[in-house]
Each structure stands twice: as structure tokens, then as C-alpha cells.
Amino acid sequence: MTTAAAHSTDYSLGFSSLSDEVVLEELPLRGAVPEWLNGSLLRTGPARFEAGNQKMRHWFDGQAMLHRFSIAGGKVAYANRFLEGRAYRAAEEKGEIAYGEFATDPCRSLFKRVQSLFAPGFSDNANVNVTKLGERFVAMTETPIPVEFDADTLAAAGVAPYEVPGHLTTAHPHRARSTGAMLNYAAKLGPRSSYRFFEVGPDASRPTVVGSVPVREPAYMHSFGLSERWFVLAEFPFVVNPLRLALQSRPYIENYRWEPQRGTRFTLVDRRNGEAVGGFEADACFGFHHVNAFDGDGGVSVDICVFPDAGVIEDLYLDRLRDGKPVAGAELVRFTLDLERRTVTRRPLSDQLLELPRIAYGRCNELPHRYVWGVDLGESGWVERIVKVDTDDGSTLTWARPGCSPGEPVFVARPGAEAEDDGVLLSVVLDTERETSFLLVLDAASLEEVAGAEAPHHIPFSFHGQFFRD
């Protein structure tokens, strides 16, 4: 499931550092931004891959930078700023990598590694996603240290907006429809490890654990599913021994082991009372991103972008990416869990490979959906197109432009929209010919280009962002 054709375009610029921080009141614009589109696209992502003479090893390790595209009155403004958390400040002061990242770890003594089991020196390099909790804007990664920031200045607030009841978490929280509370998962590591689902109210800082599942060797889970009744855990057989994680000198992710004989195990945790229902097993696979989950007659449907194994993590080391080596593609799959029989059926939703999936979240999350937007690879073996999949019949639409690599397409619904795909997609695209990036606005139904706003520099490839209406 990789593209092995000759590399037609060099996308290594997207993995090179950006140092410039700017505030621009208006970007050059082609086309016309819809009058109803007012608000800000906020994104975080890795932007610097060095600290002094030390180099980051993995795409996921780069120092976080916030980017804001503000849209009002048909104009687009832009600002960017490094996320000035403790990991960033320490690197600036010491000229070296001060905290362990996903696949890059400063040299530590055995004493320090043992000590970290009891008082972990977590990085707050929140380069994965952003969200809003009440009136607080938050940048997130998989460590339990979210970073609050000012959406106007992009300055870090210097305080943790809420506590996380565990050592590992996700940067893909969900929002409770009725209360606006954040729902997320954390892994508590120790002699008795557990998966914990927790809730944080819009104005709260302390979490409430609403369900816990014991586990001996936790799986790596980048996201989770949420239906109206259930939290959904998909345990891919990429697992870690907590003691090994504390004692070994290798970087964090390199302590995980691929054990396909375990298969993929699903667990449902009742949102009402925290009771867990397990025993759902499928063939081994690996995934980063849940798309959606919803309840049906006697079961739960769970859509995930999956890979055959965890080799995609190896694909994303920076030396491989900069050399133009192809990256694995993900298949859009629906797993259906039968509550009575405790069985799992697996069905691909399209022949189109797809990653960085988005849906009409406000309308469809927890409920049946029809459309999924995402990105896919081109002949270069890297992301070259935006795709739209109709899960009813598997049909697809694509957008592509030569020499361009689009990022995650963020769906924004038109106010008063009746159709699920009535709105626009916002994507940050690298143009290798111009060596700059631009904000792309597409019609979400047809994938026809609506507008583009040119940034003054390249924006390194990033992961996730959200659109917040004014």
C-alpha cells in the first residue's frame, strides 16, 4: 500500500525549519472568500527540527509553531508564532534538546530514567492539535501537558488549562454535545496500568474519570471513537511494557513492539456508568485516526483509517522523508461490532486511500455520516491530493495541483446548511515551485477551488487544526 513510482516532486521543503514569525493584516488573495466565512483557522505543527547542533529525528518531534489564518469581510490575515512552552524555552536557553520527544531523546543516565517513572519530565511540545475548552484555547500533544494560549497574540499562557489523569493521552478529544465538556482518554502507567476516559467541564481544570479499563501492556492509541452511548477503544497490537519504557535508554516510541498475534482488540466503555464491554477481536492492523463511530441495531460501527502494520511510524523519520522515500497509505475501513455475538466485521468503504480524515463534526459526530474528507499520496509517495469519499457508494472526488502538497482539509459548514457537505474545506498547501504555502478554500461538495491566500513563506507540514467562528 505504498506508492513506488519515480518521485515527480521534491517535498523536502516541508520538512525544513521555519524561523520567521510574522503578523500580516492581509494576504494576497485569488478568487473570493465566501461572505459567510468569518473566523480563524488555528493550526499547530512542527516548525523547527534543530536545537543548537542537535537534530530532531522524527516528523513528530519538531518544535511546535502556531499558525492563524483570520478571515473577515472577504480578507485573510495571517500570523505565526512558536509555542513558547517549557520545552521550547529550555531549547532556546540551553541550545540543545532538553526534553524527550516522540522519537528523539536527550541522553539520560539510568538514575534519571528510573526517576522519570515516578516524576516524568514530560515535554509540552504541543505540535499535534488545537481545541477550545470553554473560552480557553489549548494546544495539545500526546503528553499530559496541554498548553493554553492567547488566540489573538498566539502567546502561551504559561499555565496548564487542566489536569490529565495519566501519563499518555491523545490530541484528539471529543466534545460532549449537551455540556460542551471535553472528553478524552489517558493511559495511566505503573504496576497496575489502566486506560482512563475522563471529562473536563468548559470552566473546569480538574478531570472527572468516567471509566477505567485495566491493561498490562498498553497499546499506542493516537485517537478514540465516540458514539452516543460508548467510548470506543481500538487496541492495535503495537504495545509497550511500562517498566521497559521507564528503564530503557531509547526514545519513547522505540520502546513499543509490534505483536500481530494479539490481533486488534476493541473495548466499549459505557458513557453512562463507565462499565466496559470487551471480547471484540479483529485481525492485526494499525491506525492513527478514528473517523467516527455510531450506534446501530445491536452494534456499533467504527470508522478508522488503518494500515497493515505500524511500519508507517518508521516511514515518518525525517531522514527517510527528506530522501523522498514513499510513505504507506491508509485504508478507510468500517468495523462493525456485534454486541450480542461479540464479533467484529471489517469492510473497506472505498478503494480510495485516505488519511487525516475530517467529517462534518458538529452535525455527524456520534451519528451516521456519509462524507469523509482527507488527503492521499501521489506518485512521489507523499501527500499530493485532497479526497472526498462518499461512504454510501464508495465514490470519490479529488483536488490536486502539480507540485503542491495539501494538508488536512478542515470542513466548515455554511450557516443554515441542510446538506451534510454544504460548506467549504480549508487546507494549508505547500507550493514547491514558489517555495511558499497558501490557504486553500475549496467547495466541500464539488472540491472546486474557491479562493487561495498566499503566505509569505513555506509552512512546514503539520497535522491538525480547527476553525473557530467569530
Distance CA 434, CA 98 (A): 35
Across 97-121, average pLDDT: 64
Q: Which residue's C-alpha cell is 541522553?
A: 107
Residue 5 pLDDT > 50: no
Least confident of 248-257, 274-283, 367-376: 248-257
249/120: higher pLDDT: 249
**pLDDT the model gives residue 1:** 33
**pLDDT the model gives residue 107:** 57
Which letter does DSSP use for residue 146 in this model?
-
Residue 2 pLDDT > 50: no
Query: Exposed, middle or buried, 217 (CB in 10 Å: 0-12/13-18/19+)?
Result: middle
251/467: higher pLDDT: 467
Among 333, 449, 335, 366, which Cα is nearest to 401's? Answer: 449
Identify the bridge partners of residue 443 per DSSP, sorted by sequence position: 424
394 φψ region: left (φ > 0), alpha (ψ -120 to 50), beta (else)? left
Across 120-144, average pLDDT: 93
Distance CA 319, CA 59 (A): 9
* pLDDT tens column, 327-364: 999 999 999 999 999 999 999 999 999 999 999 999 99
**pLDDT the model gives residue 292:** 98
244 pLDDT band, cuts 50/70/90, is confident
107/403: higher pLDDT: 403
111 pLDDT band, cuts 50/70/90, is very low
Among 387, 371, 283, which Cα is nearest to 335's? Answer: 283
The answer to whether 244 and 285 have CB atoms below 8 angstroms apart is: no
Across 227-237, average pLDDT: 98
Q: Report the mean per-residue pLDDT for the chain.
A: 94
Among 352, 218, 232, which Cα is nearest to 291's? Answer: 232
Distance CA 230, CA 276 (A): 9
Across 187-194, average pLDDT: 94
The answer to whether 51 and 62 have CB atoms below 8 angstroms apart is: no
The answer to whether 187 and 239 have CB atoms below 8 angstroms apart is: no
* pLDDT tens column, 160-176: 899 999 999 999 999 99
